[in-house]
Amino acid sequence: MIKHRLAQLVAEAVAAAQAAGTLPAVTLPPSTIEHPQNAEHGDYAANLPMKLARAMGRSPLEIAADIVAAIPPSPEIDTIEVAKPGFINFKLNRDWIKAQVDAVLAAGDSYGNVDSGQGQSVQIEFVSVNPTGPLHVGHARGAVLGSGLANLLAAAGYQVQKEYYVNDAGNQIDLFRRSLYARYLQALGRDAEMPEDGYQGDYLVAAGQDFAKEIGDRYADAEATVALKELGDLGLERMVAEIGADLSLIGVDFDLWFREHDLFVSGEYDTTMKLLRDGGYIADKEGATWFTSTALGEEKDNVVVRGDGTPTYFASDIAYHRNKLVTRAFDRVINIWGADHHGHVSRMKAVLTALGLDPARLTVIVCQMVTLRRGTEVVRISKRSGDIITLKELVDEVGADACRYFFLARSADSQMDFDLELAKKESPENPVYYVQYAHARISSIRRLAEEKGVDFTAGDVSLLGDEAEIGLIRQMLMLPEVIDLASQTLQPHHIAYYAQDLATAFHHFYDNCRVVTDDIALSRARLKLVVASQTVLRRSLSLMGMAAPEKM
């Protein structure tokens, strides 16, 4: 990555200047290589001289001049200039830029990969909705963010595991079992009342009817605890399967579906609670068992076991996170939670400290709410059921690619409006169409070239020189930086913005540079550029989990 190469050259130049006595021997602070806001200042700029000024007791401009004098010639660089108040500006060599077309083609679908992760193991847990009902549009946002982030982290050199935590224990699951049992009995014509606060959705009515057809009255006269357990298990498996099927509609899959129940069967829950008690972080008071969060700076303690002896969701989550960080020993754990879990973050960090674990190994991304719109009209309920709008309904209306792009294109911490009408438009106004059309347009050019017998493999990229050509290559060179940035900040929206910028650069090139002409040599060179840009565009779409259409 050219950005890292420039940072290396600056660091080596400072070391050389210090060794020669030109610059004082001081510890180097963190330095950044960025793109200047004004493109006339160059392609990249280093701000290190301004950070060294106080320690070295010299002006940033003097320091910058000494650093520049110590930077040796490099094929990547055309010019290096010192600019006020102490920047070092780099302008890339145009011949080197052109040569990167061949480098992109050589890398193929691995182009853009970086090694910032250095093989660290990362577990990403996302969605993890209780298997008590269908997924809705809010869940879809977390699903797309999680899978997109997983793709980017893998491209950045991390070993990634995607995980869904199946909450198949606790009070909500008991309520689900009783609700399903009531619907099953009703489907058989038996008198059965739904439990208070039971799950009322039509999906459970349908499930009860299906089970009545499939298994008859097997559990109608069975002992209640047996019926609740066995029928409930069937119902949970049905819901988990439906959740998986719905997620597959938007290209989301998981490496592991981890069951909460296994924490209790394996003894991991008991082990974890004992560790907290032995550490002095468990207190029995007010008829319940509490984690003494206040001992670690929290505002209040938190119940882990209720008075009736049942563990809280928090208690299971404690054991689950110890399983991630100790039993399975992931280097890092990333959770993507809904906005309603915001208050859960600090106490989870506190309990990791109580367990002797570094809370920095856990990152929680809180995903804000989604508002659906049709233009200016807010869509609040499903047309089919009069209830929540499900993920499946959203995909049926706008398609998987629109779901993925629109959810990825906004930072997780911002509330978002999802415009259904915009997502369906076949015009440049729709970023999904705009980006995918660039790929399809390239495919069209390649078909034309094939018909004309133009082969890009012998193309001489030194013939490229139009500003639209150079601009397109510059944009292609940004992909490794974007992958690095997204992986460091855990913000996958950067890839969505990049894909749109790359498409813009290609469309500008297309409007200004005809590819297949009577000039065979130039046609081959431009076709090579086109094929390389398609490689980068296809990779960008793949990282977002989107299709790269050949025709539109």
In which order are the strands placed within the sheet that holds 288-291? 282-285, 288-291, 302-305
Nearest to 550 by CA among 445, 469, 406, 476: 445
Higher per-residue pLDDT: 381 or 331: 331
Enumerate residues 6+ apart whose C-beta is below 8 A from 333: 122, 123, 125, 321, 324, 325, 361, 362, 363
Cα(301)–Cα(295) distance, rounded to whole angstroms?
Answer: 8
β partners of residue 422: none
> In degrees, to the nearest 5, what angle opens at C-alpha 511 toward C-alphas 508 and 516?
120
- Whether the predicted pLDDT of 387 surpasses 80: no
Q: Do domains 2-92 and 428-543 have the same CATH topology?
A: no
What CATH number is given for 428-543 in this structure? 1.10.730.10
DSSP 255: S
Quick one: what percent of the chain has pLDDT higher than 70? 99
Question: Architecture of domain 2-92 in CATH?
Answer: 2-Layer Sandwich (3.30)
Question: Architecture of domain 121-168+254-367 in CATH?
Answer: 3-Layer(aba) Sandwich (3.40)
Q: Residue 131, class by beta-carbon neighbours within 10 Å (0-12 exposed, 13-18 middle, 19+ buried)?
A: buried
- Whether the predicted pLDDT of 32 surpasses 90: no
Tally of CB atoms within 10 A around 177: 21
Backbone angles phi, psi at 126, to 5 degrees: -150, 165
Cis peptide before 85 (omega within 30 of 0): yes
- Banded model confidence at residue 201, pLDDT cuts 50, 70, 90: confident
**DSSP of 507-550:** HHHHHH--SSSS-HHHHHHHHHHHHHHHHHHHHHHHHTT----S
DSSP 310: P
Per-residue model confidence (pLDDT) at position 342: 85
Q: Distances in Å between the alpha carbon of 419 and those of 239, 376, 379, 386?
A: 29, 8, 10, 20
Per-residue model confidence (pLDDT) at position 40: 87
β partners of residue 523: none
- Consecutive H or E run containing 230: helix 224-248
- Whether the predicted pLDDT of 517 surpasses 70: yes
* Residue owning tokens 């110590």: 70
pLDDT tens for each residue of 495-504:
999 999 999 9
Per-residue model confidence (pLDDT) at position 256: 98
**What residue spans define the domains of the chain?**
2-92, 121-168+254-367, 171-248, 428-543
Backbone angles phi, psi at 542, to 5 degrees: -65, -40
- Whether the predicted pLDDT of 386 surpasses 80: no
Per-residue model confidence (pLDDT) at position 384: 54
- Whether the predicted pLDDT of 381 surpasses 70: no
Quick one: what percent of the chain has pLDDT higher than 90? 93
Per-residue model confidence (pLDDT) at position 474: 97
DSSP 300: S
The pair of structure tokens assigned to 250 is 């938007």
- Whether the predicted pLDDT of 385 surpasses 60: no
- Whether the predicted pLDDT of 194 surpasses 70: yes
Per-residue model confidence (pLDDT) at position 340: 85
Alpha helices per DSSP H over 291-399 = 313-322, 344-354, 391-398
Per-residue model confidence (pLDDT) at position 31: 79
- Whether the predicted pLDDT of 185 surpasses 80: yes
Per-residue model confidence (pLDDT) at position 514: 97
* Residue owning tokens 């980006």: 435
- Whether the predicted pLDDT of 382 surpasses 80: no
pLDDT tens for each residue of 411-467:
999 999 999 999 999 999 999 999 999 999 999 999 999 999 999 999 999 999 999
For strands 362-367 and 159-166, give the pairing. Answer: unpaired
